[in-house]
Structure 1
Amino acid sequence: MQPLLRGRPKRLAILDYGLFQVHANGRIIGICGYLLETTAGERVLIDTGFPAKYAEDADAATAEDGLGHFGRVLSLAPGNLAPAQLALLGIAATDIDLMIQSHTHIDHVGFMDGFPGVPILIAEAERALPRPLYWSGKQAMEWPDRDYRQVTRDVTLGPGFEVLLVPGHAPGQLAFLIDLPQTGPVLLTSDAISRAAEIEEKFAGSWNEELAIYHGARLMDLAAARGAKVIFGHSPEQWPQLRKAPDWYD
């Protein structure tokens, strides 16, 4: 794959898509996405949170999607939807140059169809599914009609921006290593490692636990080798400490 970006990472914003509680253990997790801006003015959106219906009526949406046996939305207002989070940064849907789907579970794909004309970078293994993973309910989500840039291995999107193919949590799970001018290297594990304790728990319940263990170790070794700040996908301990939009990491 040819590099898709011209500029280097300039700054990174964490998008707050709300809070969710997992029934099995009571764990309260933040739902996040990311907006990366490059030195060439390019804007890259990684993941888009829950669908809008969860901000309108979370209970009805949960019942419709069959999500209730897994957990419940604790906090998800209109201000936690992708367009509103981008607006905190002064960014509109038309300003996005590239969307990336780390994988296609329900808390990551809510606005995948909300950016017409924007190409979507996604793992080939994920895009090959008949539909996005979404959830187990009746309301299966269809693939939006977009230009899909499909990843089959680790790739460099541009200077200082690496996309890592790390299946385990999902068939086409992606993680990201970016090099910011002041913060330095940052590893966004997404759900490849949802929280630090998942490593000791051997990634129990993953789509493929063996692959999840392998790639979890690979990511942590890479972070250590690069001296990278690690931002986990759904860490209850880390989430309250992270700066979120409209603030930036630069």
Structure 2
Amino acid sequence: MMPLLKGHPVSLAVLDYGLFRVNSNGRVIGICGYLVRTSVDEHVLIDTGFPSKYTEDFRAASDEDRLYEFGEVLVCGPDNLPAAQLARCDVVPEAINLVVQTHTHIDHIGGIADFKQAPMLISAIERALPRPLYWGDVQPVEWPDRRYIQLQEDCDIGPDFSVMLVPGHAPGQLAMLLRLPETGPVLLTSDAISRPAEIDEKFAGSMDEEAAVKSAARLMAIAEAENAFVIYGHDPQQWDEIKKAPHTYS
């Protein structure tokens, strides 16, 4: 695959898409995305949170999608939409050059039909599904008509910016490693490792537990070798401590 970006990453913003309480153990997790800015002012948006109907009435939306079977949306308002989070970073939606879809669960694909001026990088195996995964057997979202770049193997999408296929949580789960000028290497595990405790729990309940264990071991080996700052997909403790937009890692 030809590189998709010309510049190297110079800043990373964590976008706040809301809060969710998981039924099984009551943990409260942040719903996040990321904005990466490059040295030539390219903008990469990673994931887009819940569908916009959740910002209008998240209780009604949860009932419609039966999301209450998994947990409860606690916070999801207009300020948690991608456009509002981008505005915190002084970035307009039209400035997005690339969208990365780490996987297609409900809390990651809310804006799958937005930012159409930008191609969407997604795993080939997940794009080949009849519909995005969404949640359980609820799959109301169709694939929007847009340009997709389908990833079949690990690749460097630009200088100091790698994307890795790490199946387990989802069949086409992606993770990213980027190198920032001051922070150094940053590993975005997405839901390949939602929180460190998952490693000890051996990813019980994942779509493919065996694959998830292997993917996590691979990611943690990369983190150790790179001495990387690891940002997990949904770690409650880390969510309370991590910098969020408009603050950035650089």
**Which consecutive unaligned segments of at least 5 residues does structure 1 have?**
none
**Residue matched to 2:109:** 109
- Structure 1 position 139, deviation (Å): 5.7
Asked if 1 retains the 8 angstrom alpha-carbon contact of 2:133 and 2:139, the reply is no
Instruction: Output one character per residue of 1:120-154: Cα deviation in whole Å (capped at 9) or x when no partner.
Output: 00000110000000113656101111111011111
1:7 aligns with 2:16: no
Instruction: Output one character per residue of 1:63-117: Cα deviation in whole Å (capped at 9) or x when no partner.
Output: 1111111101011121011110011111111000000000000000001111122
Q: In the superposition, relative to structure 1, how do residues 126 and 138 fare at CA in structure 2: closer, same or farther (>3 Å)?
A: closer
Q: Equivalents in 2 of 1:225, 1:232: separation in Å?
A: 17
Matches within 5 A, 1:84-99: 84-99=84-99
Matches within 5 A, 1:17-166: 17-136=17-136, 138=138, 140-166=140-166
SS of structure 2 residue aligned to 1:238: helix
1:217 aligns with 2:217: yes
Asked if 2 retains the 8 angstrom alpha-carbon contact of 1:119 and 1:149, the reply is yes
Q: Equivalents in 1 of 2:146, 2:136: separation in Å?
A: 24
Residue type of the alignment partner of 2:174 = L
Q: Equivalents in 2 of 1:139, 1:238: separation in Å?
A: 30
Q: Equivalents in 1 of 2:12, 2:138: separation in Å?
A: 36
Q: Equivalents in 2 of 1:138, 1:127: separation in Å?
A: 17
Q: Equivalents in 1 of 2:75, 2:147: separation in Å?
A: 33
Q: Equivalents in 1 of 2:65, 2:82: separation in Å?
A: 20
Residue type of the alignment partner of 1:228 = A
- Structure 1 position 40, deviation (Å): 1.0
Moved over 6 A (4+): none
Asked if 2 retains the 8 angstrom alpha-carbon contact of 1:66 and 1:137, the reply is no
- Structure 1 position 118, deviation (Å): 1.4
**Which consecutive unaligned segments of at least 5 residues does structure 2 have?**
none
Asked if 2 retains the 8 angstrom alpha-carbon contact of 1:19 and 1:76, the reply is yes
Asked if 2 retains the 8 angstrom alpha-carbon contact of 1:65 and 1:136, the reply is no
**Residue matched to 1:237:** 237
Q: Equivalents in 1 of 2:138, 2:50: separation in Å?
A: 16
Q: Equivalents in 1 of 2:166, 2:214: separation in Å?
A: 9
* TM-score, length of structure 1 as denominator length: 0.98
Q: Equivalents in 1 of 2:17, 2:174: separation in Å?
A: 19
Q: In the superposition, relative to structure 1, how do residues 137 and 57 fare at CA in structure 2: closer, same or farther (>3 Å)?
A: farther
Asked if 2 retains the 8 angstrom alpha-carbon contact of 1:169 and 1:191, the reply is yes
Q: Equivalents in 2 of 1:69, 1:131: separation in Å?
A: 21
* TM-score, length of structure 2 as denominator length: 0.98
Q: Equivalents in 2 of 1:158, 1:70: separation in Å?
A: 37
